[in-house]
């Protein structure tokens, strides 16, 4: 009799309270962690419809229209999303073309700069002697006057 009393006064209420804690606290907290605005909005029209068909509580037509709007919000959001995506696609296409044009321009400029590069001229060999230019008739006629002008 003592075991029976202990079981029904101690163990059974604890088991019930553990089960209630699991359902009402732990599982509810897990569900609330995964709760999104979309899920909340999806429940509102159902609640309005349940209240509308419950004949004891009158619901104004404005509230029914709000419920309908919330029921169709998925359609509105899909249409808005498609509109935004089409604009984003257009913008990405323009950016991609601009990037291709910039890449072509930079490669064109780089190739032109390589053609104009004067740093790597012909190498002059040290074995080849430098010759003085021969004196022309004018230089000989004036007795080297041009040499004096070039020096000054």
Q: Are 67 and 42 in contact (CB under 8 A)?
A: no
Tens of pLDDT, residue by residue, the chain (152 residues): 788 888 888 889 999 999 999 999 999 889 888 888 888 888 887 887 777 777 676 777 787 787 777 778 778 888 888 888 888 888 889 999 999 999 999 988 878 777 665 565 555 555 555 566 666 666 565 555 555 555 54
Taking the domains of the chain in order of start, what are their residue ranges?
1-35, 36-71, 72-110
String of DSSP letters for 33-78:
HT--HHHHHHHHHHHHHHHHHSTTS---HHHHHHHHHHHTHHHHHH
């Amino acid at each position: 009799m003592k075991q029976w009393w202990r079981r029904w006064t101690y163990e059974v209420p604890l088991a019930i309270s553990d089960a209630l804690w699991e359902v009402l606290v732990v599982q509810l907290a897990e569900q609330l962690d995964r709760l999104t605005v979309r899920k909340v909005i999806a429940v509102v029209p159902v609640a309005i419809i349940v209240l509308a068909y419950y004949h004891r509580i009158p619901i104004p037509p404005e509230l029914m229209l709000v419920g309908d709007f919330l029921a169709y919000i998925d359609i509105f959001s899909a249409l808005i999303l498609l509109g935004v995506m089409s604009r984003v696609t257009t913008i990405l296409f323009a950016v991609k073309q601009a990037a291709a044009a910039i890449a072509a321009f930079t490669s064109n400029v780089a190739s032109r700069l390589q053609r104009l590069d004067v740093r790597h001229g012909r190498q002059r060999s040290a074995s080849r002697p430098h010759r003085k230019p021969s004196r022309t008739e004018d230089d000989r006629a004036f007795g080297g006057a041009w040499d004096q002008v070039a020096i000054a």
